[in-house]
Structure 1
């Protein structure tokens, strides 16, 4: 297919599109960004307002971030968790988003070694025991009973998402959260059926996806957020990611994949690109973590140059190996990159920082496709999660 033919056949990113059983009003997804606006694992009015702003701003679907399937799976004790007590707030949120004409997805998962055990009052689970520098504590090796329980809890979360009115769930297989940590040969040194070969390391993630599919059927869409590259030596890498994608396609467990990268444990900036806000991170951390960031932060929070569509080269290799619908994430800030994604065979695009800067960017791009995002990729929004995720360059109401 020639470039001109590919361009001519590319879908309109702002036209309605099917995602599993759901029809989105356009192909733009607000990516999951931890909002920092839940309290006691429950929805707040502020969290609803956050997603309503993005829905009113024109996205096809907004994603509620990090809805933990188990209490020890929260990154901190405030984070949303699937419980009977949380359902009324979840319903209020989905109803408010639907009233603006957008769909809404819930990101479901287990933080695993990324969880803060001191905040949760519970050990952080991982494939094995190791010392977590950020929380200055040891993880606990997940037992077979833990893994079976967590698989089932993902299915329960999918069922509860239907009850709460969500249009989709996004299973978190990225960033060295629990499922991703099992995929990583750097972190997963187990000798049982969950460690060693890629087939064994992928067993947990595949079991989760199949459990969710078995519990929800085709009543809502199922996405998975999958690392293509952990960004650390010895970690999960693209060639293994492509094989996992093939298995997920064979299993029939997901309707689409959102492709991501980086490790919240070892190299978080690998996903974000742009500036590393070391001073800002140190400013919100307690001691002795603050001192650690000041002394050694540049070795963990590395700075990578930003460019539009910066995950495209790796994602293009995945695109060539699967027929699954794919979501292109990373540096989608203008109509040019959206059109490029469509031309390259991706079905959807996901945006995060650009929408934090301008929640109405999609509406404005539909009126004037030549406008440019105001996001400067300073990444100071990463630090804002501790008081409510936002672009720090946007003045707050008095």
Structure 2
């Protein structure tokens, strides 16, 4: 019988040794108003690093200007190198490792905010910019793949231990995977193998550039949660293709769509009023319509809510897997280890309590205190935080 690992014991992820098996999931920090690392961003990650997390993940690091969800995000390049290097150095000083979530937002990007038209698998209207999103051309896809490679090389120079390729949530790669968003009739559309071509191409290109120097992971959907999105069966097939290619050290299993159904990922309260208040006037008015109100669907919160679907991936795959989704208790973490998962990723739990891992490991707690009201979600525009703990917004971001 295989011994069940201790979630708080050291573990290996690719070429990287982590002090434990806990991961702070990538959630946009709202602390880069000018696309640069700030003191506030450093402190945000130092809080969870000092609090015992094994790996903290910086989000969101865009490979191209049009790949930002909006203009207040970092585009990876020489201009950002000094700040990113400072961030990794300070996190390393705590004993934690640091990951960078690398991606292209595709149709989730606000082209009007970015000043650059968004890209997707197929042409579609953007509810964010009120513009039409361009269908990516062959030239675009070649250039974006090269952008991933260049970003990966620079992040290695900056001292990151892990690179997480974003392949979920209807971002660019995910938009190719979803049949409802990918209506192409060329080699990038149609069959699942064609729709997975971009994901595999990016993983291969990045691995050829930096594989072995850092751990390479991908965030992949186990279900998009909307008609025309990636189903669990399709997610399993994509995961199997990525595993067979051998370019990744682990998969982080997520779900939902930032564009079509964000609450499928978060579960719990749907902060409709708070979200509407944080948005520009056209979007705010749109959220008052029946269609707008249906955007933030409410799903009951359940501890470890992705576990039943994730177990199917664990049964199918041999590669390391990170479990995400409503992990707040020591019992869930231990169950994940017993079910064969290699790491557990947390977002809201450590946003509310940055020192939660230390407290769980020391036996001072058995569960986090997050109530899953999701009122943290709209704070991404003023500095992501738990409003129950930090009632006053930060003032570093301007929309």
Q: Classify the TM-score, shorter chain.
A: over 0.9
**Residue number among 45, 65, 68 corresponding to 1:74 in the alignment:** 68
Match of 1:328?
Answer: 323
In structure 2, what is the Cα distance between the partners aligned to 1:237 and 1:162?
Answer: 33
In structure 2, what is the Cα distance between the partners aligned to 1:183 and 1:282?
Answer: 29
Match of 1:26?
Answer: 20
What SS class does the counterpart of residue 288 from structure 2 fall into? helix
Match of 2:115?
Answer: 121
Deviation at 1:235, TM superposition (A): 1.4
Match of 1:104?
Answer: 98
- Residue 54 in structure 1 maps to residue 48 in structure 2: yes
In structure 2, what is the Cα distance between the partners aligned to 1:369 and 1:339?
Answer: 16
**Residue number among 293, 318, 326 corresponding to 1:298 in the alignment:** 293
**Comparing 37-46 and 91-100, the one that deviates more:** 37-46
In structure 2, what is the Cα distance between the partners aligned to 1:66 and 1:200?
Answer: 27
What SS class does the counterpart of residue 327 from structure 1 fall into? strand
Flag the 1:196–1:313 CA change in 2: closer, same or farther, 3 A: same
Q: State whether residues 333 and 344 of structure 2, in contact with CA within 8 Å, keep that contact through their aligned partners in structure 1.
A: yes
Flag the 1:315–1:209 CA change in 2: closer, same or farther, 3 A: same
In structure 1, what is the Cα distance between the partners aligned to 2:256 and 2:338?
Answer: 26
**Residue number among 238, 246, 258 corresponding to 1:244 in the alignment:** 238
Deviation at 1:113, TM superposition (A): 0.3
TM-score, normalised with respect to structure 1: 0.97
Map 1:1-398 to 2 at 5 A: 9-296=3-290, 297-368=292-363, 370-395=365-390
Deviation at 1:379, TM superposition (A): 0.4
In structure 2, what is the Cα distance between the partners aligned to 1:82 and 1:228?
Answer: 28
**Comparing 176-185 and 74-83, the one that deviates more:** 74-83
In structure 2, what is the Cα distance between the partners aligned to 1:366 and 1:256?
Answer: 24
**Comparing 283-292 and 118-127, the one that deviates more:** 283-292
> Tell me, which stretches of 5 or more residues in structure 1 are unaligned?
none
**Comparing 308-317 and 230-239, the one that deviates more:** 230-239
In structure 1, what is the Cα distance between the partners aligned to 2:280 and 2:60?
Answer: 23
Flag the 1:269–1:375 CA change in 2: closer, same or farther, 3 A: same
Deviation at 1:286, TM superposition (A): 1.8
In structure 2, what is the Cα distance between the partners aligned to 1:83 and 1:151?
Answer: 15
Deviation at 1:396, TM superposition (A): 5.3
Q: Between Structure 1 and Structure 2, how many residues are aligned? A: 392
Deviation at 1:293, TM superposition (A): 1.1
Deviation at 1:395, TM superposition (A): 3.2
1:122-142 deviation digits (Å, cap 9, x = unpaired) = 101011111112321110110
In structure 2, what is the Cα distance between the partners aligned to 1:33 and 1:235?
Answer: 22
Q: State whether residues 224 and 255 of structure 2, in contact with CA within 8 Å, keep that contact through their aligned partners in structure 1.
A: yes
Q: State whether residues 279 and 294 of structure 1, in contact with CA within 8 Å, keep that contact through their aligned partners in structure 2.
A: no
In structure 2, what is the Cα distance between the partners aligned to 1:397 and 1:16?
Answer: 37
4+ residue runs over 6 A deviation: none
In structure 1, what is the Cα distance between the partners aligned to 2:349 and 2:390?
Answer: 16
Q: State whether residues 225 and 259 of structure 1, in contact with CA within 8 Å, keep that contact through their aligned partners in structure 2.
A: yes
Q: State whether residues 113 and 129 of structure 2, in contact with CA within 8 Å, keep that contact through their aligned partners in structure 1.
A: no
Q: State whether residues 335 and 369 of structure 1, in contact with CA within 8 Å, keep that contact through their aligned partners in structure 2.
A: no
What SS class does the counterpart of residue 165 from structure 2 fall into? strand
Flag the 1:16–1:22 CA change in 2: closer, same or farther, 3 A: same
> Tell me, which stretches of 5 or more residues in structure 2 are unaligned?
394-399
What SS class does the counterpart of residue 316 from structure 2 fall into? coil
**C-alpha root-mean-square deviation of aligned residues, in Å?**
1.2
Deviation at 1:336, TM superposition (A): 0.4
